[in-house]
Every structure is written in C-alpha cells, then in structure tokens.
Amino acid sequence: MIEEAIDHARADLDPRVGPALREAWDELSRSPDFVLFELNDGPDTVRVEKHGKKLLVHVDSDEAVVDVSVPVRTVERILDKL
C-alpha cells in the first residue's frame, strides 16, 4: 500500500520537485528544533514541529485528539523514492 502511494506521488510530481523537496528536507532535518506550523481555530488546534530527530504532529479537535511522531529518517527514505 505504501509503495502504491509513493508510485502515485511520483507520477503526479514534476521531476524537478523531488530534488527540491529533498534539499528542503535536508535543511529542515539539520536545523534546531522549531514549530513548522501552528493553527488555533477556536477549540481546534494543529501543531507540526521538528523535535530532535522526529517530526511531531498534534491535532486536538472536537472529534479527536491525534498525536503522530514520524522519524526524520522515515521521511528521508520516502523522499529518496520520489
């Protein structure tokens, strides 16, 4: 299933985008910890941050609270396949 999603993404991307994404990710992964995105909309919040060697996503809404931690290396492996 993951390989199929990567194949679809690869087919939809302009060939120049993959290298640009990889370069941007390399810079992000070397940077100190920081908040990449934060949204507060009433009771709903979304926060994406780089912390150590992980990308953390936190969503808190009326429907659910979701916390996802993705190792930087996992994102690098996906970008390598694009």
Q: Considering the chain, what percentage of its residues have pLDDT values greater than 70?
A: 100
Phi-psi category of residue 42: left, alpha or beta, with phi > 0 → left and psi -120 to 50 → alpha = left
30 Cβ contact partners less than 8 Å away, ≥ 6 residues apart: none
Which tens digit of pLDDT belongs to each residue from 8-29? 888 888 888 888 888 888 888 8
Which is it for the CA torsion 82, 52, 71, 41, positive or negative? Answer: negative
For 68, which DSSP code? E
> How would DSSP label each residue in 29-54?
HHSPSEEEEEEEETTEEEEEEEETTE
